[in-house]
Amino acid sequence: MFDSMNPRRFYNEEADWEWGRRRGSFLSEVAFEGTFEYLDEFFPEDGSVLDAGGGPGRYSIRLAERGNCPVLLDVSRTQLRTGREKIAEHDVADRVRTVQGDLRGLPFDDDTFDGVCCLGGALSHVLDADGRAAALDELRRVATPGSPIVVSVFGRLANLEIILREGNLETTYPLLLPEARSGDYTRELAMQTYDEPDWTECHYYRLAELEAEFERANLRVERTAGFNGLCTMLDVDFETHEKEARGTVRELLRELREDRTVVDVSREMLAVARVPANSR
Ligand SMILES: C[S@@+](CC[C@H](N)C(=O)[O-])C[C@H]1O[C@@H](n2cnc3c(N)ncnc32)[C@H](O)[C@@H]1O
């Protein structure tokens, strides 16, 4: 069995799964489309933008289709290979460039992009706090002054709920409070929680902590959102419901998505910030 705890190895094995994950269910679509609404609102209509930790490129493709020229950067070669196939299938190969690289040391000059995103938990996969601080500094450095930075990370409360629901409580319980306090899903925690861990190490956030990390990086948070909101902790198969009923649930989630309590319990929480105009 491969070592799932290392994010690069995990994503090298799981490129197809990652492409499917984004559209696999009603709630994953709500999260994907909701996230894209923020990109659509804050990103410039054209010009060069960075999709950091972009995996197989779902957001890069959508950004290219709306007029941007995205650079899709990822640490995983396999994700990028799948990304290039999908980019070609969607006919946007002339607009999207792929680059292998690490969030903590981006291979771009200062002030290169007019919009930067790092979505779907890529930042959460940097377990160490100094590494996450370095990554946020890098995202800010490569963005032009005044441009938007959109980041979404994994939420800690939702993950605790998953551990309580699915984990081996008899072996995990001594690690529950440390996990609630630190948010670090470590190798030790994974081994105690599951017989066969199949997820990789990552840091799960509380909302206030995400905001504090942005502030430290001199990024002013303008909006935050959580997409699955009240449904995050439910085990409901929305696909079995009528289209109209699903539409109303979608509206409900949309209406509540910027409520701070909802953001904090969401599986994925998003922050939109802006690089200060005088950041240099
Ligand atoms: C959950 S996927 C999200 C993909 C995409 N952003 C999305 O939302 O659909 C996380 C991605 O982050 C990448 N990643 C993890 N650690 C990274 C790092 N240090 N530098 C760059 N990419 C990283 C992984 O390879 C993976 O493709």
Give me 189's structure tokens: 């925690």
Residues contacting residue 217 through CB under 8 Å, at least 6 positions apart = 133, 136, 137, 139, 140
Residue 20: predicted pLDDT = 75
The beta strand positions in 65-136, using DSSP E, are 68-74, 97-100, 116-118
What does the alpha-carbon distance between residue 262 and residue 248 come to, in Å, rounded to a whole number? 17
Residue 110: predicted pLDDT = 97
What would the pLDDT profile of 41-63 be if each residue is shown by its tens digit? Answer: 999 999 999 999 999 999 999 99
What would the pLDDT profile of 5-41 be if each residue is shown by its tens digit? Answer: 788 887 888 777 777 776 778 889 999 999 999 999 9
- Is the confidence at residue 271, as pLDDT, over 80? yes
Q: Cα-Cα-Cα-Cα dihedral of 144, 145, 150, 156, to 10°?
A: 120
What does the alpha-carbon distance between residue 238 and residue 246 come to, in Å, rounded to a whole number? 7
What phi and psi, each to the nearest 5 degrees, are found at residue 258? -100, 5
Task: Kindly list the distances between the CA atom of residue 24 and the CA atoms of 27, 66, 250, in Å, as whole numbers in the listed order.
Answer: 8, 23, 16
Compute, in angstroms, the gap from residue 119 CA to the centroid of ligand 1: 8
What would the pLDDT profile of 217-260 be if each residue is shown by its tens digit? Answer: 999 999 999 998 888 777 777 778 888 888 999 999 999 999 99
What does the alpha-carbon distance between residue 196 and residue 95 come to, in Å, rounded to a whole number? 41
Residue 279: predicted pLDDT = 65
Pocket residues for ligand 1 (CB within 6 Å)? 7, 11, 18, 22, 53-55, 58, 74-76, 79, 102-104, 119-122, 125-126
What would the pLDDT profile of 158-179 be if each residue is shown by its tens digit? Answer: 999 988 988 888 888 888 898 8
Residue from 90, 91, 138 nearest 110 by CA: 138
Residue from 196, 191, 219 nearest 279 by CA: 219
Q: Please report the atom of ligand 1 found closest to the CA of residue 51.
A: 6
Judged by phi (left if over 0) then psi (alpha if -120 to 50, else beta), residue 90 lies in alpha
Residue 1: predicted pLDDT = 52
Compute, in angstroms, the gap from residue 170 CA to the centroid of ligand 1: 32
Compute, in angstroms, the gap from residue 102 CA to the centroid of ligand 1: 9
Compute, in angstroms, the gap from residue 101 CA to the centroid of ligand 1: 11
Residue 280: predicted pLDDT = 61
Pocket residue to mutate for ligand 1, from 4, 5, 11, most atoms within 8 A of Cβ: 11
What would the pLDDT profile of 59-80 be if each residue is shown by its tens digit? Answer: 999 999 999 999 999 999 999 9
What would the pLDDT profile of 127-162 be if each residue is shown by its tens digit? Answer: 999 999 999 999 999 999 999 999 999 999 999 998
What would the pLDDT profile of 103-128 be if each residue is shown by its tens digit? Answer: 999 999 999 999 999 999 999 999 99
Q: Are 44 and 117 in contact (CB under 8 A)?
A: no
- For residue 109, the tally of other CB atoms under 10 A from its CB is 9
Q: Are 116 and 52 in contact (CB under 8 A)?
A: yes
Residue 126: predicted pLDDT = 95
The CATH fold of domain 7-274: Rossmann fold (3.40.50)
Give the DSSP H/E element, type plus range, for residue 247. Answer: helix 243-256
The beta strand positions in the chain, using DSSP E, are 47-52, 68-74, 97-100, 116-118, 148-154, 184-185, 202-203, 220-226, 268-274
Give me 187's structure tokens: 């190798």
HSE at residue 156, side-chain half, CA atoms within 13 A, is 18
